[in-house]
């Protein structure tokens, strides 16, 4: 009979130890999450305006692809909703995921467009894109466009 009691307590101790390990692990995870949230919401230093002077490294760039500047390239834009063509548009920078284009008039965010270099022949296909960003800058509008799918490489090469 005394052996049965000893075995019972031995099992209880192992369960207690396992429970303690799980509890400590959960506490460590909670502390890590709290530290991460605090780092996200508290700037390291502030400017005179009260805004963060610097942002944490992981919040500076949200793009999946590196943006490249280059020689501005004149393009034609076809607005799919109105079927109107914008002739005097210029690509300012580009990436594998999209382009930033200077245009004379605003295009609403969400507009589906097609882009092609102005002097490209019919051999070069139109590139489908969606306007994701719009801002007015130096007497013109700049639209940030995300490619709709993977554009043909032949068309991308003409963008510079």
Condensed to tens digits (0 to 9), the pLDDT of residues 13-40 reads: 777 778 788 888 888 888 888 877 776 6
Q: How far is 21 from 14, CA to CA, in rounded Å?
A: 11
Residue at token pair 């501005």: 72
Q: What is the pLDDT of residues 51-89, one digit of tens each?
A: 454 544 554 555 566 666 678 889 999 998 899 999 999
Q: In the structure encoding, which two tokens stand for residue 93, read together? A: 């920078």
Q: How far is 46 from 56, CA to CA, in rounded Å?
A: 13
Q: In the structure encoding, which two tokens stand for residue 59, read together? A: 């919040």
pTM above 0.85, yes or no: no
Residue ranges of domains in the chain: 2-59, 68-158
Q: Report whether CATH 3.40.50.300 matches the domain 68-158.
A: no
Q: What is the pLDDT of residues 101-159, one digit of tens each?
A: 999 998 999 999 999 998 887 888 899 999 999 999 888 999 999 999 888 888 888 88
Sign of CA dihedral 122, 124, 128, 134: negative
């Amino acid at each position: 009979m005394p052996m049965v009691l000893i075995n019972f307590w031995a099992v209880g101790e192992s369960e207690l130890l396992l429970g303690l390990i799980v509890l400590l692990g959960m506490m460590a995870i909670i502390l890590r999450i709290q530290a991460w949230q605090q780092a996200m919401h508290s700037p390291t230093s502030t400017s005179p305006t009260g805004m963060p002077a610097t942002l944490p490294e992981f919040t500076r760039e949200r793009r999946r692809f590196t943006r490249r500047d280059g020689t501005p390239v004149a393009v034609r834009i076809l607005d799919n909703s109105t079927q109107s063509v914008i002739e005097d548009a210029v690509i300012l920078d580009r990436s594998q995921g999209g382009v930033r284009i200077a245009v004379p008039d605003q295009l609403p965010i969400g507009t589906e467009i097609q882009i092609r270099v102005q002097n490209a022949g019919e051999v070069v296909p139109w590139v489908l894109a969606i306007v994701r960003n719009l801002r007015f800058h130096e007497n013109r509008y700049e639209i940030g466009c995300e490619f709709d799918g993977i554009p043909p490489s032949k068309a991308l090469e003409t963008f510079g």
